[in-house]
Amino acid sequence: MKKREDSQIIYKAALSVFSRFGYKKTTMEDIAGELGMTKGNLYLYARNKKSLYRDTISWGLRRWQSRVALAVEKENDLRLKFEVLCHKAIDYLSRDRELHRLMAKDPGIFPMFPDKDPFESINLDSIAMIRDILEQGIREKAFRTVDTHQISQVIFLIYKVFIIEAYIRGKEEEYNQMLSETLGLMTQGLFIPPAP
């Protein structure tokens, strides 16, 4: 096996098997089998089962994140950037079956209330992405002035609720519709400004 594409191949196979059986039920032999090798040999490519699991998930989450970032970059209007961010995050995950099945099998990957978030750095980057858009929008006077530190976290929380309900708990249809309605609430607000 050639050294450069190794990790890609390993992660792909590991994600496939882990997403089918979950962490506990997959054995190192299963993954080795998927790769056409023996479990002893797999240890040339993975320190141990736990780190292989962790790295596989990181790989999957980063791929998700980069796809969203790419879609956002394509837009110019800040309002559209914000809406694309919200929609694309859901949209990508609905297509990456293996990733969201694995997330459904292990709620610890994307926990609503993490004690110690195992993928904290990835999620902090996502929050930073939201915050950047907020700050730019405020600077360009497209957005109302809000506490970007707090609101970016709140938006991430709400986004988590939707991701978990829709793709981890399998209520895709109900929540896709609700997402648009919620986006409307967040962007337009509930109150009608009193006439002057």
Q: 44 touches which of DNA, a copy of itself, none (CB within 5 to 8 A by kind)?
A: DNA
- Using the contact rule CB under 7 A, the part of the chain among 19-27, 79-87, 97-105, 169-177 near DNA is 19-27
Q: Which two tokens stand for residue 41?
A: 């040999």
- 141 in contact with a copy of itself (CB under 8 A): yes
Q: Are the C-beta atoms of 19 and 102 separated by less than 8 Å? A: yes
C-alpha 153/C-alpha 128 separation (Å) is 9
The secondary structure of residue 193, as a DSSP letter, is: P
- CB-based contacts of 149: which residues, under 8 Å, 6+ apart? 131
- 28 in contact with DNA (CB under 7 A): yes
Binder among 13, 101, 137, 159 for a copy of itself (CB under 8 A): 137
Query: How many residues of this chain bind DNA (CB under 7 A)?
Result: 17
Write the binding mask 30 to 69 for DNA: x where contact by CB under 7 A, - elsewhere: -------xxxxx-xx---xxx-------------------
- 126 in contact with DNA (CB under 7 A): no
Question: Burial code of 14-33, b = ≥16 C-beta within 10 A, e = fewer?
Answer: bbbbbbeeeeeebebebbbe
Nearer to a copy of itself, 3 or 113 (CB): 113
Give the count of alpha carbons within 13 A of 99, CB side only.
22
Nearer to a copy of itself, 35 or 88 (CB): 88
Residue type, 148: T
Restricting to residues 109-128, name those near a copy of itself by CB under 8 A.
112-113
| Long-range contacts, stretch 27-35, CB < 8 angstroms, 24+ apart | 35/9, 35/10
The distance of closest approach from Cβ of residue 27 to DNA in the complex, given in angstroms and rounded to an integer, is 3
C-alpha 56/C-alpha 140 separation (Å) is 39
C-alpha 99/C-alpha 14 separation (Å) is 11
Nearer to a copy of itself, 66 or 150 (CB): 150
Binder among 6, 41, 50, 189 for a copy of itself (CB under 8 A): 189
The distance of closest approach from Cβ of residue 168 to a copy of itself in the complex, given in angstroms and rounded to an integer, is 8
Residues that bind DNA (CB under 7 A): 1, 3, 24, 26-29, 37-41, 43-44, 48-50
